[in-house]
Amino acid sequence: MISVKNAQMSSCYQPANDASMLDANNNCIAHSNSQLFNQSFNQDESMNGEHDINEPKTNLIVNYLPQNMTQDEIKALFSSIGPVESCKLIKDKLTGQSLGYAFVNYQIQGDAEKAVNTLNGMRLQNKTIKVSHARPSSESIKGANLYVCGLDKDFGQADLEKMFSSFGTIISSKILSDPKTGASKGVGFVRFDQRYEAEIAISELNGKCYDNMQEPLIVKFANSPTSVKSVMGLPLAPFIPINRGFYQPYRPSASNSYRYSPMTPYCSPDQTSLNTPILPTPLTGMIPATPSPQTPSLATSLPNTPVAPVPTMVPTMVNGQTTAILSTPPTSISNTSLSSINYSGWCIFVYNVGPDTDESLLWQLFGPFGAVQNVKIIRDQQTLKCKGFGFVTMTNYEEAVTAINCLNGFNLNNRILQVSFKTQAKQMY
């Protein structure tokens, strides 16, 4: 889960010494761990003292990437912030499959910061990516993920972190819950900064009753994943509705079965002045004043993170078929010039974006609808101001159609977007 962890990671790795809290809440666990805690903190400090004092923090780790996103696409996305020194998508050595995370190293630290602020929490296809500073590579941080079960059903994420906080720095945590009912499964995960912190937690908590819980806890290292979950079988349903109140189609079309219904305007009455953003990113004005109930932690912990909208249940369309379509344009666009087809994707023309638009806006807008290969904002060569339009290349026809149908006519900062397949090509070959 994208949560408060980023702030913790970037600001300070030092865990809060919460042993007293544990004592207060815990009736079953022996209170003999203060020695261990002090030892672990000392190790932590001495290790931190060795590196990264004045090193520029240019290196980012990107997690929860869409399965089919390529390294080039990731690089294109992060280059919308500034020049990228290197970009590495981690793949399975044998199958070549993406492991869903990547490292992006910027040339300038400021761009890395901006990327965290701008791209963390961005929705791409069915994923919400996480962008955070990479820690210095080391063996000691591997295998620090714990599996926990035996939790009471009313035990929440905050309770979980509280239970583990005295053993080290928590990088992430999660309680598994039934997607329908939202009820806890009594199972969770806690990832520590350091492996030895996880080891301490196991030795202190495994088999014990915590805070009068019904059953003893099981705390062990989580399974290390071996094979990629097949994404092909999924109906690509995970278009999770986020109801950010952002899309606002103004031309309903009866023939569009997959146009989703209008939502509340992105600009609620009490923030109509947001045309001139106070905060740095041009997307600030798109953030609704009231957080979505589905993602309170995201909204509260990442107030500067623009969250691109996601269509509510786009019916059918995209299955697994992809490339075969490219050579045979569907009849529904038979009157469209072939210039929208590049043999490596579908080029979309986006008109009526503001003069200060940058590439990340187009990623925000189109990323939720499917695989985006590249985006381009057209600027005046002198002023570098956006000329009011740009291009987006998407891989799959159906996803491009859905994006067009959903984004064409949308009110973005009081501008009505016009979105269509590209019709004119500048003399090719």
Partner DNA sequence: CGACGGGACGC
The stretch among 13-21, 100-108, 110-118, 311-319 that binds DNA (CB under 7 A) is: 100-108
What are the start-end ranges of the H helices in 359-425?
359-366, 397-407
CB of 20 to DNA, least distance (A): 27
Cα dihedral 264, 267, 269, 271 sign: positive
**Contacts of DNA in 102-121 (CB under 7 A):** 103, 105
The answer to the question of residue 305 lying near DNA (CB under 7 A) is no
Q: Cβ(412)–Cβ(353) under 8 Å?
A: yes
Nearer to DNA (CB atom), residue 171 or residue 412: 171
Nearer to DNA (CB atom), residue 43 or residue 97: 97
The answer to the question of residue 258 lying near DNA (CB under 7 A) is no
Question: Measured in Å, how far apart are the chain's first and last C-alpha atoms?
Answer: 47
- Contact string 2-41 vs DNA (x = CB under 7 A): x--x---x--------------------------------
Calculate the alpha carbon distances from 6 to 104, 112, 124, 131, 136 in Å. 16, 13, 19, 8, 16
Q: Residues in contact with DNA, total (CB under 7 A)?
A: 77
The answer to the question of residue 172 lying near DNA (CB under 7 A) is yes
Calpha distance 328→160 (Å, rounded): 53
The answer to the question of residue 209 lying near DNA (CB under 7 A) is no
CB of 281 to DNA, least distance (A): 20
Calpha distance 80→94 (Å, rounded): 31
Calpha distance 115→117 (Å, rounded): 5
The stretch among 101-109, 158-166, 274-282, 305-313 that binds DNA (CB under 7 A) is: 101-109
Nearer to DNA (CB atom), residue 180 or residue 426: 426
Half-sphere exposure of 105 (CA within 13 A, CB side): 8
Calpha distance 173→370 (Å, rounded): 28
**Contacts of DNA in 380-419 (CB under 7 A):** 388-389, 391, 393, 418
CB of 34 to DNA, least distance (A): 28
The answer to the question of residue 128 lying near DNA (CB under 7 A) is yes
Calpha distance 202→196 (Å, rounded): 10
CB of 187 to DNA, least distance (A): 5
The answer to the question of residue 239 lying near DNA (CB under 7 A) is no
**Contacts of DNA in 49-68 (CB under 7 A):** 59, 61, 63-64, 67
Q: Give residues with Cβ within 8 angstroms of 385, minimum separation 6.
A: 355, 356, 379
Nearer to DNA (CB atom), residue 33 or residue 169: 169
**Contacts of DNA in 349-378 (CB under 7 A):** 349, 351, 374, 376, 378
**Contacts of DNA in 180-199 (CB under 7 A):** 185-187, 189, 191
The answer to the question of residue 422 lying near DNA (CB under 7 A) is yes
Helix axes 359-366, 109-119, angle to 10 degrees: 30
The answer to the question of residue 327 lying near DNA (CB under 7 A) is no
Nearer to DNA (CB atom), residue 46 or residue 427: 427
The answer to the question of residue 173 lying near DNA (CB under 7 A) is yes
The answer to the question of residue 244 lying near DNA (CB under 7 A) is no
Calpha distance 402→366 (Å, rounded): 10
Among 69, 81, 84, 134, binds DNA (CB under 7 A): 134
Q: Cβ(58)–Cβ(105) under 8 Å?
A: yes
Calpha distance 421→20 (Å, rounded): 62
Among 228, 289, 313, 384, binds DNA (CB under 7 A): 228
Neighbours of 39 (CB within 10 A): 12
The answer to the question of residue 174 lying near DNA (CB under 7 A) is yes
CB of 413 to DNA, least distance (A): 14
Q: Cβ(78)–Cβ(104) under 8 Å?
A: yes
Calpha distance 179→305 (Å, rounded): 25
Q: Residue 258 carries which DSSP code?
A: T
**Contacts of DNA in 79-98 (CB under 7 A):** 86, 88, 90-93, 95, 97-98
Half-sphere exposure of 6 (CA within 13 A, CB side): 27
**Contacts of DNA in 267-296 (CB under 7 A):** none
Q: Cβ(15)–Cβ(170) under 8 Å?
A: yes
Nearer to DNA (CB atom), residue 286 or residue 347: 347
